[in-house]
Amino acid sequence: MNVPDQAGPTLVVGLGCQRGCSAAELLDLIEYSVQHQGLRIPDISALASIDLKSQEPGLLELARQLGLPLRFFSAEELAVYEAQLSHCSQIAFERTGCYGVAESAALALASLSGTAELVITRQKAPHATFALAISQPVSR
């Protein structure tokens, strides 16, 4: 008897934002980005960012509106994904200690449940960045 994998691929969002960025701006960026890939918001299972943003009202409100878990990672945890980034920002490094919050956070969260790969590289709005990663379960 074949036993199916415990889970299929998982899509997760990484977000970076400036202080005071609204949930509406973050949601607009996500919607625009996923629609251009033929995806929908309900396809997303979780959100991630850097721990420096753990009290950012716009991020917290967005997670509440979407009913999605929001996970935060330290700059040290995000730095291990530097080689996989499509864009390295010196400004982001100076402000956060990592070269790309959105892509790194998406990869870090996706890596928790399998092998991670960026599906949508860094997208930018005036006050926010977005990336989408997929996690493929590791077969045993």
DSSP per residue over 57-81, as a string?
HHHHHHHHHHT--EEEE-HHHHHTT
Backbone angles phi, psi at 29, to 5 degrees: -65, -45
Q: Say yes or no to pLDDT of 8 above 80.
A: no
Among the listed residues 88, 97, 24, 31, the one whose alpha carbon sits nearest the alpha carbon of residue 61:
24
- What's the mean pLDDT in 28-48? 95
**Is 140 a residue whose pLDDT tops 70?**
no
Confidence of residue 3 (pLDDT cuts 50, 70, 90): very low
Integer Cα distance of 8 and 79 in angstroms? 27
Question: Which of 102, 72, 96 shows the shortest CA–CA distance to 84?
Answer: 102
pLDDT digits (tens, 9 = 90+) for 82-121: 999 998 988 888 988 898 999 999 999 999 988 999 999 9
Stated as kind and residue range, the H or E segment containing 103 is helix 101-111
The answer to whether domain 10-136 has CATH 3.30.420.40 is no
Query: 102 with 14: CB under 8 angstroms?
Result: yes
Query: pTM (2 decimals)?
Result: 0.90
- Please, what is the Cα angle at 37 between 139 and 48, to 5 degrees? 60
